[in-house]
Structure 1
Amino acid sequence: MRHAPMRFAVILGLATLLPSSPAHADDACYKKAQSQAELTECSVNDLKQVDDTLNKLYKQMESRLKGDDDTKKLLIEAQKKWVAFRDAECTLSTVRTAGGSINAMNFNSCAAGLTQARVKDFQTYLDCGKQSGDQDGDDCAIPQAK
């Protein structure tokens, strides 16, 4: 029974090697990875892919806000604060691996998951009015494309 805590630590350590983002852009990358550095590179690629999608949607939102400087400022402020939140949240969620070789992968996986959720939020903004029956989008923060 004396060895149980060690076995638990090993199992817990192995579990942290599994990618934690909800869906990976390239599962094949993780399957063929042979080292922590390669797993980290997979997580970098996942984050980059979802971040690229987020940036495209953000540009669409900015474009729809031409001539509405007040709302555009709110969008910019919200996004800056969201990035700060995402980074702080992922720093907190990976605090126990800080300084370890797995930390970057864990952080990237966390950031990719939160960024994917933000992509869904942005898509909701862009689709506002379509689902609610508000065809002209008067109640939408981001106006419908004309």
Structure 2
Amino acid sequence: MKIEFRKHRSPFWSIPYGIASFHALLSICGTTSVCAQSPIFPIAQQINCDRPQGDVEVRACIRLNYEASDKRLNEVYKQLISHLSGEERALLSEAQIGWIKLRDKTCEFEVYKSRGGTGYGGFLNQCLERLTKQRTAELEKYLKDR
């Protein structure tokens, strides 16, 4: 699984949480040699997100939930755009770029008071997931109406 860190966002693995998360990840792995031999995110995929254990797993599950919703959004967007004419396609593309900027800024504003706190990344990802699911539903409606 690929994690993309977007500009102006504090991913849950970043500083100031990076060192603590790394140490917590080491405790999950057991030894550094095990971690060195296996990529980080297959370990995260083994986390039971129905019953996460501890803050690191909770943050990982929140991030994975957001990523899943973002992946679904991209799938629906691609389906919809394939059904559109050139002008409609250009309008949707422009609208989607604007929506992404709006979503990101809305979530940054929504969780602004949590900046610097341990829950900031989780709150940000929950907001991003919620708004992404709403947008996916909108695009699915457009697709259904085609």
Query: Structures share a fold, TM > 0.5?
Result: yes
* CA displacement at 1:101 relative to structure 2: 1.8
- Which residue of 2 is the match for residue 116 of structure 1? 133
Structure whose alpha-carbon radius of gyration is higher: 1
Alignment of 1:1-146 (within 5 A): 29=49, 31-35=51-55, 37-65=56-84, 68-128=85-145, 144=146
* CA displacement at 1:61 relative to structure 2: 0.9
Q: In 2, distance between residues paired with 1:42 and 1:83?
A: 22
Query: Normalization by structure 2: what TM-score?
Result: 0.64
Percent of aligned pairs with the same amino acid? 29
How many aligned positions are there?
99
Structure 1 consecutive aligned stretches of length 4 or more whose deviation exceeds 6 Å = none
**What SS does the aligned partner of 1:29 have?**
coil
- Matched to 1:86, the amino acid is R
- Matched to 1:60, the amino acid is Q
Question: Cα RMSD (Å) of the superposition?
Answer: 1.2
Query: Normalization by structure 1: what TM-score?
Result: 0.64
Spell out, residue by residue over 1:117-137, the C-alpha distance to the aligned partner (whole angstroms, 9 max, x if none).
111101110111xxxxxxxxx
Q: Is the 8 A contact 2:72 2:136 kept in 1?
A: yes
* CA displacement at 1:31 relative to structure 2: 2.7
Q: In 1, distance between residues paired with 2:50 and 2:108?
A: 22
Q: In 1, distance between residues paired with 2:125 and 2:92?
A: 24
* CA displacement at 1:34 relative to structure 2: 1.0
User: Where does structure 2 lack aligned partners over 5 or more consecutive residues?
Assistant: 1-47
Spell out, residue by residue over 1:85-121, the C-alpha distance to the aligned partner (whole angstroms, 9 max, x if none).
1101100110111112210100000000001111110
| Higher helix content, 1 or 2 | 2
Q: Is the 8 A contact 1:30 1:39 kept in 2?
A: no
